[in-house]
Structure 1
C-alpha cells in the first residue's frame, strides 16, 4: 500500500508541477503567463493575471508538499481546491463535464484523487511518516479526509461562484 501511495502522490505532484510551470513559464508546451491570462479571462476568472499567479503558487506548492509527503493533508486540500476551481470553471464555460468537449473532467478527477489522499494519508515513504508529523496518527483518517474535502470545497467555492457570476453576466451582455 505504501508504494501505491508514493506513486499516487508523485503522479499528482508531477501533473500539478507541470500545470503550474505551463502557466508560469510556458514549459511543457504551455501558454506562459500571457496565454494563461487570456485563458483565465475566457474562463471568467477575474482579475485573470492575479488568478493565474495564484493558481501557479497553489499548484507548485501542492506539488512540493505531495511529492515530499510533508504536510500532506495541506497539500491535498490545496490541490483539491485548485483543481475544483479549474474543473468547475471549464464545466461552467462549456456546459460539459467531459474533457473531449472542453469540460472539467480531468481536473475534477485530480481533485478527487487529492481528496482520496486526505483519507489514506501519505504512506510510510513520506516526510510526515518519517518525522512523526503525520496528521493521521493523531486523528482518525476519516476525520482528516473529511477536513481535506471540506477545506477544499470552502476554498474553491468563492472562486467558483465568482466565475459563475462573471460568465452569467457575459452571457447576458452577448444575448
Structure 2
C-alpha cells in the first residue's frame, strides 16, 4: 500500500512538472531580485530608508563616477530593472547580465575597503551568474515562451554581456 501511495505522489509531481529545484529557484529569484529592486529604489526614490537620487549622486561623485547623477540613475535603474525581471522570471539571461554588470561595479568600489566592503556585491554577482546558467525554473513568466533562453550558451552570453557592460561603465566613469 505504501509503495502505491509513493508511486501516485511521484506521478502527480511529475505531471505538474514542478519540482524542488523549481521551488528553490523561485524562492532565490524572488528574494534576490526583490532585494536588488529595493536597493535600486533606495537610490532613485529614497524608499525603504534610502538616500534618494541627489544624495546617491553625491556619493557616486565621491566614488569617482562623473557625472554622479547619471551614474547613480544608471545604477538605480539597473538594480530595479534587473531585480524586477528576476522576480518575474522574465528575460532571465538579460536580467542576470544587468545584475552582474551592476555588481561588478559595486565590487570594484568596495575592493580597496577590504573584504567586508565587497563581500555582499560579490554574493549578488554570484547569484546573477547562477541564474544566467540555471534559468528561472518552471514557475516563471519565461516558461514556454518563444524568448525563453537558458543553459550553457545563454549563461555564458549573459556573463559576457554583464562583464562587458561593467567594463564599459568603469572605463567611462
TM-score by length of 2: 0.83
Q: Which structure 1 residue ranges, 4+ long, deviate > 6 Å from structure 2? A: none
Displacement of 1:54: 0.9
State the SS of the aligned residue for 1:44. Answer: coil
RMSD over equivalenced CA pairs, Å: 1.4
Residue 148 of structure 1: aligned partner: 158
Please say if 1:62 is aligned against 2:82. Answer: yes
**1:24–1:33 Cα contact (<8 Å) kept:** yes
Displacement of 1:162: 4.4
Displacement of 1:80: 0.7
**1:89–1:160 Cα contact (<8 Å) kept:** no
Q: Aligned in 2, Cα 1:55/1:104: closer, same or farther, shift over 3 Å?
A: same
2:37 and 2:138 map into 1 onto residues whose CA distance is 23
Please say if 1:115 is aligned against 2:125. Answer: no
Quick one: which of 94, 98, 101 aligns to 2:115?
A: 98
Comparing 119-128 with 154-163, greater Cα deviation is found at: 154-163
Displacement of 1:44: 0.9
Residue 147 of structure 2: aligned partner: 133
TM-score by length of 1: 0.82
**1:13–1:66 Cα contact (<8 Å) kept:** yes
Displacement of 1:83: 1.1
2:172 and 2:107 map into 1 onto residues whose CA distance is 14
Displacement of 1:130: 4.0
**1:45–1:159 Cα contact (<8 Å) kept:** no
1:161 and 1:133 map into 2 onto residues whose CA distance is 32
Q: Residue deviations 1:48-98, cap 9 Å, x none?
A: 00111111111111112111111111101001111111121221xxx1342
Q: Which has the larger radius of gyration?
A: 2
**1:44–1:89 Cα contact (<8 Å) kept:** no
| Total equivalences in the alignment | 153
